[in-house]
C-alpha cells in the first residue's frame, strides 16, 4: 500500500501558505489540491474529502475577511476548522456507566503501549471515583503478567492474571467474572504482529467471550504511515470503538494517528504523553491539530480570527479614517457593522472621538446594505479599489450582474463618495483635536 504521511503532507501544504508572499485564489486552490491528495492517500472516504475541500474552498475564497485579519490567517483558520471537524469537533469521553461493570478491551500490536495505557486508564478512572480492575490476557509476551501486576499494585488497583495459563480466552472470562463488582474492567491483550492470523482469531474469541463495552485500539504515535494499515487490519477483525494514541510526548506530531482515525472512523479519546502512569490526557482535537500542523501558536491565531469575526478593532477604524477607503473597505465595514451594530458604535470606539454621524445616512446605509453588497460583489477587484473607473458601460454591466438597477449602482457610488468625503472630514477634525492642549470631550 502506498501511503504518505498524512500529517506531514498536510503540514507541507500549510507551510506553503505560511511562506507565500501573497495568498491568492491560486494558492488557496493549490492548498486544497494538496489537502485532497493527502487525505485520499490516507484512504479517507472520497466523499468526505470532497465535502471538506469544498467547504475549505468556499470559506477561504468567498467569505469576507474579518476586519484586521489577513487572507493568510484566514486560510489557516479555515483549514484548521476543517481538520478539527475531521478528528471530531470536541472531545468525546469514554462512556462509563457508574455502578455497572464496563469492560474495556485494549488491542494493538506489541510495543504500541497497551499495557501502559491500560494502567493509566485504571488510574484515570480511579481518580474520578470509579472502581477499576486490570486483567492480563497476554499469554504471549514473557513478563507481561508481572509488568501489569506491578503497575496495578503501584496504584492499588485490583489485578487478575493466570501466570501459567496459555489460554487468554479463559483468563479473560475468569477475570471478568472475578471483577463483577468493578466498574471499569480493563482487559490487556497480547499484541504480537498485526498480520499474524492467530492473533486476530484470539482477539475475536476474547471479544465474543467477554462482550466488551468498548474495544480500544492503542496506536503508537511515532509510527507515522504504518498507522493506517495497522488500524485498518484491526478494524477489519474487530469493532474498534475508540483509539488511544500513545507516545505523543517528545517530537511526534501524530500524523499517522490521523490516518488511523481515517481508517477506522473511530474517535481518538485519549493520548499518552509519557511513560509515567499519570501521563494520559483526554484527547483535545484543537490541540492535536496545532501539533499536527507544527504550529505552536495556532490556537492563538484561531482565537484572534474568532475575536475579529465579532469585533471591529480600533486599528480598522483608524485605517478607514486614514483616507484610503475603497468600495472593498466599505463592503467590509457593512459586514462588520451588521455583526456589531451601527457605524456610530464602531466610531465611538476611537478614543477621544465623539462625532455624531447624520442618522439618516446611517439608516440608509443599513437599509440598503444587502443591495449594495450584491452590487459590490458584481464588481471586478480593480473597480472595487478604484471606483473612479466606473463609467456608463461598467455601471450597466454591474447592474445586470447584480440584478439591480443602474440607478442603484449610481446611488451606491454617490453614497460611497459621500462617505469618503465625510471620513476625510472626520480625519481632519481628529487631527485638530489631537493638537489641542486639552481634551474636548
Residues 90-129 that bind Mg ion (CB under 5 A): 114-115
Query: Which residue minimizes CB distance to Mg ion?
Result: 115
Size of the site for ligand GDP (CB under 6 A): 17
Cβ neighbours around 258 below 10 Å, total: 28
- How is 345-384 classified by DSSP, letter by letter? HHHHTSTT---PPPHHHHHHHHHTHHHHHHHHHTS-HHHH
DSSP state of 24: -
Q: Using the rule CB under 6 A, give the single segment among 108-116, 166-174, 296-304, 330-338 that binds ligand GDP.
A: 108-116
Is residue 147 a contact partner of residue 171, using CB atoms and an 8 Å limit?
no
Query: Which residues partner with 160 through β-bridges?
Result: 135
Which of the listed partners (Mg ion, ligand GDP, none) does 273 bind, with a CB threshold of 5 to 8 Å by partner kind? ligand GDP
Nearest CA-CA partner of 380 in 398, 396, 403: 398
Rounded to whole angstroms, the Cα distance separating 13 from 7 reads 10
Residue 139 CB, nearest approach to ligand GDP (Å): 13
Which of the listed partners (ligand GDP, Mg ion, none) does 274 bind, with a CB threshold of 5 to 8 Å by partner kind? ligand GDP
Nearest CA-CA partner of 317 in 440, 415, 427, 421: 427
Residues 365-384 that bind ligand GDP (CB under 6 A): none
Q: Using the rule CB under 6 A, give the single segment among 114-122, 313-321, 322-330, 374-382 that binds ligand GDP.
A: 114-122
Query: Which residue minimizes CB distance to ligand GDP?
Result: 272
Nearest CA-CA partner of 155 in 181, 125, 182: 125
Residue 247 CB, nearest approach to ligand GDP (Å): 4
- How is 39-107 classified by DSSP, letter by letter? HHHTT--HHHHHHHHHHHHIIIIISPPPTT--HHHHHHHHHHHHHHHHS-SS-------TTS-EEEEEE
Specify the residue, 226 or 402, whose C-beta has the smaller distance to ligand GDP: 226
Specify the residue, 31 or 121, whose C-beta has the smaller distance to ligand GDP: 121
Residue 240 CB, nearest approach to ligand GDP (Å): 15
Residues 231-270, one symbol each (x = binds ligand GDP by CB under 6 A, - = not), give ---------------xx-x---------------------
- Going by DSSP bridges, is the β-strand pair 242-246/132-137 parallel, antiparallel, or unpaired? unpaired
Specify the residue, 190 or 404, whose C-beta has the smaller distance to Mg ion: 190
What are the residues binding ligand GDP (CB under 6 A)?
108, 110-116, 191, 246-247, 249, 272-275, 279
What are the residues binding Mg ion (CB under 5 A)?
114-115
Amino acid at each position: 500500500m502506498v501511503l504518505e504521511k498524512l500529517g506531514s503532507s498536510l503540514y507541507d501544504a500549510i507551510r506553503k501558505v505560511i511562506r507565500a508572499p501573497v495568498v491568492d485564489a491560486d494558492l488557496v486552490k493549490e492548498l486544497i489540491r494538496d489537502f485532497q491528495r493527502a487525505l485520499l492517500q490516507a484512504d479517507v472516504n472520497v466523499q468526505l474529502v470532497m465535502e471538506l475541500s469544498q467547504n475549505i474552498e468556499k470559506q477561504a475564497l468567498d467569505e469576507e475577511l474579518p476586519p484586521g485579519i489577513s487572507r493568510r490567517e484566514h486560510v489557516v483558520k479555515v483549514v484548521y476548522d476543517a481538520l478539527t471537524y475531521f478528528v471530531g469537533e470536541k472531545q468525546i469521553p469514554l462512556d462509563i456507566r457508574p455502578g455497572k461493570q464496563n469492560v474495556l478491551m485494549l488491542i494493538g500490536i506489541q510495543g504500541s503501549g497497551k499495557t501502559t495505557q491500560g494502567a493509566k486508564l485504571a488510574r484515570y478512572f480511579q481518580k474520578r471515583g470509579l472502581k477499576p480492575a486490570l486483567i492480563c490476557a497476554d499469554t504471549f509476551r514473557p513478563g507481561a503478567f508481572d509488568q501489569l501486576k506491578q503497575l496495578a499494585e503501584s496504584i492499588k488497583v485490583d489485578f487478575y492474571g493466570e501466570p501459567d495459563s496459555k489460554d487468554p480466552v479463559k483468563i479473560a472470562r475468569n477475570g471478568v467474572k472475578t471483577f463483577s463488582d468493578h466498574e471499569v474492567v480493563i482487559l490487556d491483550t497480547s499484541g504480537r504482529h498485526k498480520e499474524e492470523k492467530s492473533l486476530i482469531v484470539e482477539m475475536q474469541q476474547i471479544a465474543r467471550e467477554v462482550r466488551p463495552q468498548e474495544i480500544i485500539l492503542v496506536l503508537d504515535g511515532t509510527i507515522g504511515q504504518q498507522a493506517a494499515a495497522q488500524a485498518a487490519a484491526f478494524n477489519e477483525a474487530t469493532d474498534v470503538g475508540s483509539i488511544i494514541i500513545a507516545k505523543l510526548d517528545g517530537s511526534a506530531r501524530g500524523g499517522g494517528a490521523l490516518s488511523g482515525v481515517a481508517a477506522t472512523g473511530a474517535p481518538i479519546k485519549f493520548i499518552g504523553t509519557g511513560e509515567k502512569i499519570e501521563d494520559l490526557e483526554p484527547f483535545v482535537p484543537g490541540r492535536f491539530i496545532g501539533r499536527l500542523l507544527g504550529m505552536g501558536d495556532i490556537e492563538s491565531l484561531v482565537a484572534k480570527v474568532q475575536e475579529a469575526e465579532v469585533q471591529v478593532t480600533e486599528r480598522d477604524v483608524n485605517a478607514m479614517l486614514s483616507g484610503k477607503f475603497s468600495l472593498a473597505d466599505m463592503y467590509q465595514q457593512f459586514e462588520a457593522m451588521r455583526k456589531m451594530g451601527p457605524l456610530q458604535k464602531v466610531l465611538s470606539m476611537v478614543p477621544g472621538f465623539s462625532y455624531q454621524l447624520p442618522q439618516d445616512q446611517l439608516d440608509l446605509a443599513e437599509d440598503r446594505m444587502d443591495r449594495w453588497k450584491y452590487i459590490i460583489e458584481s464588481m471586478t477587484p480593480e473597480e472595487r479599489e478604484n471606483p473612479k473607473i466606473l463609467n456608463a458601460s461598467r455601471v450597466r454591466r454591474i447592474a445586470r450582474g447584480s440584478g439591480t438597477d443602474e440607478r442603484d449602482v449610481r446611488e451606491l457610488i454617490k453614497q460611497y463618495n459621500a462617505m469618503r468625503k465625510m471620513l476625510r472630514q472626520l480625519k481632519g477634525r481628529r487631527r485638530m483635536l489631537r493638537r489641542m492642549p486639552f481634551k474636548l470631550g
